[in-house]
Structures are given as structure tokens and as C-alpha cells.
Amino acid sequence: MVEQILLIIGAAIFGVLGALHLYYTFFTNMFMTRDRKVAEAMKATSPLLTNRITMWDAWIGFNGSHSLGAIFIAAFYILLATTRMEVIRETKSFSLLAVLIGVSYLVMAIKYWFRIPLIGILIATICFVISAVLIYV
């Protein structure tokens, strides 16, 4: 039971962070650069990969898809943990996958992000790790 609660808490943290990120991306100017010239330059140039999009469009798209990824992780684990926890207990790779996801996001948070998401991802990852340990024991 504790492992289920911890898995749900960890996933919920991912969901909240993802939803906030999605909101900030599309409904606020939180991801606007402080230097307007940088945003103008991003809107005026394309990545080497393709000239069909601007760097600004890529920036917004990457932030949007990043948000949806976190929301999907949350939805998947919350639904699985609340409706089919026995599947997670029997197929232990599901709990290891949650740990791997948490650690991957944690590495990115340490290297690239700021304190609030770092703290949230750290707490979620700790929840995933403890949950996995309890499932394996």
C-alpha cells in the first residue's frame, strides 16, 4: 500500500510540474527572453535541421512537448497504480522504469533547470525509488 501511495505521489508531482509548464508555455510570457533581441533573433532564424521552422517555434514546441511528456508519465502511472497496482508488482520493470524516468529528469534538472522543478523532480524520484524498493522487497 505504501509503495502505491508513493508511486502516485511521485507521478502527481510530475503531472503538476508538467501542467504548470504547459500553462507557462502557452498562456504566459514566462518563457520569453529577458532580452527582446534574443527573441527577435530566434524568430528570424532556423535550425540547421530545417528551414521550415524558426528557432522560436522550436523553442515553444520543445517546451510544449516536454510538458506533455511529464503529464503523460503522470497519467500513465496514476492510472496504472490506482487501477492495476498488481501489474506493477508483478511486472517489476514498471517500477524500475519510473525510477529511470525520475533519475533522467533529475539529471536534466541538475544540469539545465532552476530550483523549483529540481526540488519537485528530486522528491518525485525519491518517491519512485522507495516505491520500487518496497515492491522488490
Which domain covers residue 49, as residue numbers?
2-136
Mean pLDDT of the chain: 96
| H/E stretch holding 46 | none
> Are 87 and 117 within 8 A, CB to CB?
no
Q: Which pLDDT score, from 0 to 100, does residue 18 have?
A: 97
Q: Which pLDDT score, from 0 to 100, does residue 92 have?
A: 87
Summarised one tens digit per residue, pLDDT across range 92-137 is: 899 999 999 999 999 999 999 989 999 999 999 999 999 999 999 8
Q: What is the pTM of this model?
A: 0.92
Domain count, the chain: 1
Alpha carbons within 13 A on the beta-carbon side of 38: 6
Q: Which pLDDT score, from 0 to 100, does residue 23 have?
A: 98
C-alpha cell of residue 8: 502516485
Confidence of residue 26 (pLDDT cuts 50, 70, 90): very high
Q: Which pLDDT score, from 0 to 100, does residue 108 have?
A: 95
Summarised one tens digit per residue, pLDDT across range 53-100 is: 999 999 999 999 999 999 999 999 999 999 999 999 999 899 999 999
Closest Cα partner for 59 from 89, 79, 32? 32
Q: What is the DSSP string of 119-137?
A: HHHHHHHHHHHHHHHHHH-
Measured CA to CA, the distance from residue 122 to residue 111 in angstroms comes to: 13
Residues in contact with 116: Cβ distance below 8 Å, sequence separation at least 6, in sequence order: none
